[in-house]
Amino acid sequence: MVKFVFITGGVLSSVGKGVVTASIGKMLQVRGFTITAIKIDPYVNVDAGTMNPYIHGEVFVTEDGGETDLDLGNYERFLDLNLPKENNITTGQIYQTVIDKERRGDFLGRCVQIVPHITDEIKRRIRFVAEKSNVDVVLSECGGTIGDIEGLPFLEAIRQMRLEEGLENTIYVHVALVPILDVTGEMKTKPCQHSVNELRRIGIQPDIIVARSRKMIDSEARRKIALFGTIPEKAVFCSYNLPSIYQVPIALDEQGMGEYICSRLNLLKRIPEWSRWKGLIDSIINPQFEVKIALIGKYANLVDSYVSMNAALRHGGAACQTRIFIDYLEAEEFEQNPTKAKILKNYDGIFVPYGFGKRGTEGKMKAIRFARENNIPFLGICYGFQLAVVEFARNVCRLKEASSTEINPDTPHPVIDLMPEQRKIKYKGATMRLGAHKIIIDEGTLAHRLYGNTEISERHRHRWEVNQDYWSTLEKNGLVFSGKNPDGQRMEILELPDKLFFFASQFHGEFKSRLGKPDPEYYGFINACLNKYQKKL
């Protein structure tokens, strides 16, 4: 019998539900249980692909080409799973299916309603994931905060699942903020009590409450949360601030959460095996070296826009016993102030991430040029790859007005152009070149040394690519395209062999990177950044 864990959040959004969800998964995994994780997003978008990363954070891309909420990335990294796109459920998908059925005539004669038709579709999708993944435990995190109107149908659906699946097969975990007053240091449980009340009003009595707090909650706060939440004190846990989010599952398990969940779900009691996970974390929290990276971005003011990249840099760092400092620098500032690029001298590496549209592109290219001319390790991802091609075309191949048609549709030298199959596409949703595709790597190149293979598979999300008409000009001037798609029609990797490390990819290595299994391009980059230690790993 499959078990279901439902996670809701209270008081504030961004309270850390995602990390608690992933941590519950980890606690179950180290006990030998198989799991999968679903993220429910109550917004009406069908997927996260059309949302601005500056407001909503990064769009995560799954192997099968789903454009999902960034929480799926956290689950994948924590749990070392490749999740399919159906593990991100949105209001948009639910309504789209129900309305399609209605138009087909499946409900002929009946009035189609939120209860039962919408709630049935929600339950069907959760159960579909359970069946298809064939795991012991399915975790479902409900996005947003208790009290949001748009979350109600989802809460109603998970409420019904308790009745249908049985008490010992379902568990409700509520994560709520417990603020600490600056002046008195007092821990305030009232907001948490209110959100539990709101949850009960909907008909859900939580089984576990996780207090999200800066520090470990004291016994008085724990007593109050238990009393007003109507749960035993041993079902109250605290997720407090830690140097690394990877420490959260251990901290929760030390409070007895793993054992409590297993006994509540009637899962065989097993001894958790934390040693491997602890070893991995050790490489993050006890580094020997340090490097400083400049990330030149367009969404630099919202760190969530680059979560997977940030994680992949840290995974690369952990593999080299290196702490990573990342400065998020706004690309446009490099355009307004011509001498700004000089500050890049203070960094061990320059990183240009993904991006869309014109804003900030000239600034990113200034940074790329600085990296190339000063032989500072450079890694470019997707737009970073395309802009490295434009910069090279302009300043090395002397094609002064070279550009991408995304930036300037009338450029005389469109070195980056829309992929042919993209030209006829009108709809924006889920129409980019998405998900995992094969790449063939040339022997004897840096890419070959990094990947140790001539065939790899990496995830993509783009519409533009290197224009075939310019391949030979770029190559004649020294740019090496060391990775291509299997029919050789699409450039995937570039490198400059005479530089310490100048490497960029059309794909996104960060989506597959894991702690303990760093992505090769990120690992290679950090390794090159360590040059000041004269360290050759």
Which CB, 257 or 352, lies closer to ligand GLN?
Answer: 352
How many secondary structure helices (H) and strands (E) does the chain include? 18, 21
**Six-digit token string for 396:** 């090395």
Contact 384, 506 (CB under 8 A): no
Bridge partners (DSSP) of residue 5 are: 139, 171
Residue 348 sits at φ, ψ, to 5 deg, of -85, -15
How far apart are the C-alpha atoms of 212 and 178, rounded to whole Å? 6
Cα–Cα distance between 439 and 380 in angstroms, integer?
17
d(CA 66, CA 79): 18
123 vs 459, beta carbon nearer ligand GLN: 459
**CA atoms within a 13 Å half-sphere pointing along the CA-CB vector of 75:** 29
| Residues linked to residue 61 through DSSP beta bridges, in sequence order | 67
DSSP string computed for 19-86: HHHHHHHHHHHTTT--EEEEEEE-SSSSSGGGS-HHHH-PPEE-TT--EE-HHHHHHHHHHT----GG
Cβ at position 60, least distance to ligand GLN in Å: 12
Sheet holding 402-404, edge to edge: 402-404, 413-418, 464-466
The one-letter code for the residue type at 149 is I
519 close to 316: Cβ distance less than 8 angstroms = yes
| CA nearest neighbour of 71 among 148, 156, 142, 128 | 142
Nearer to ligand GLN, 144 or 384 (CB): 384
Residues that bind ligand GLN (CB under 6 A): 354-356, 382-383, 386, 406, 461-464
Shortest CB 57 distance to ligand GLN, Å: 15
Residue of 142, 406, 508, 529 marked catalytic: 508
Least distance to ligand GLN from the beta carbon of 404, Å?
8
Which one, 154 or 354, has the nearer CB to ligand GLN?
A: 354
Say which of 67, 458, 510, 521 is annotated catalytic: 510
- CB closer to ligand GLN, 42 vs 73: 73
Q: What SS3 class is residue 502?
A: strand
The residue among 341, 342, 310 whose CA lies nearest residue 326 is 310
Nearest CB to ligand GLN, comparing residues 54 and 356 = 356
Q: With CA atoms as reference, report the closest residue to 350 among 332, 333, 374, 386.
A: 374
Minimum CB–partner distance for residue 389 and ligand GLN (Å): 12
> Angle CA(529)–CA(329)–CA(311) in degrees, nearest 5?
55
Asked if residues 411 and 405 have their Cβ atoms less than 8 Å apart, the reply is yes
Residue 174 designated active-site: no
**Closer by beta carbon to ligand GLN, 37 or else 379:** 379
Task: Please state, in angstroms and rounded to a whole number, the distance separating the CA atoms of residues 449 and 426.
Answer: 40
Least CB distance to ligand GLN at residue 255 (A): 40
CB of residue 317 to ligand GLN, shortest distance in Å: 23
CB of 356 to ligand GLN, least distance (A): 4
Q: Has 508 been annotated as catalytic?
A: yes
- Shortest approach of ligand GLN to residue 417 CB, angstroms? 10
Give the nearer residue to ligand GLN in terms of CB position, either 198 or 406: 406
- The token duo for 243 is 């140097």
C-alpha to C-alpha distance for 183 and 191, rounded to whole angstroms: 18
Name the residue type at position 536: K
- Rounded CA-CA distance 176/8 in Å is 9
* Tokens read off for 207: 């089984």
Using the minimum distance from each CB to ligand GLN, give the nearer residue, 252 or 390. 390
Question: Least distance to ligand GLN from the beta carbon of 434, Å?
Answer: 10
Of 321 and 422, the one with the shorter C-beta distance to ligand GLN is 422
Task: Categorise residue 204: left if φ over 0, alpha if ψ from -120 to 50, beta otherwise.
Answer: beta
Cβ atoms of 419 and 485 within 8 Å: the answer is: no
- Cα 416 vs. chain centroid, distance in angstroms? 27
- Distance of closest approach, residue 432 Cβ to ligand GLN, in angstroms: 6
Catalytic entry in 142, 320, 382, 529: 382
**Closest Cα partner for 192 from 218, 216, 226, 156?**
226
Catalytic residues: 382, 508, 510
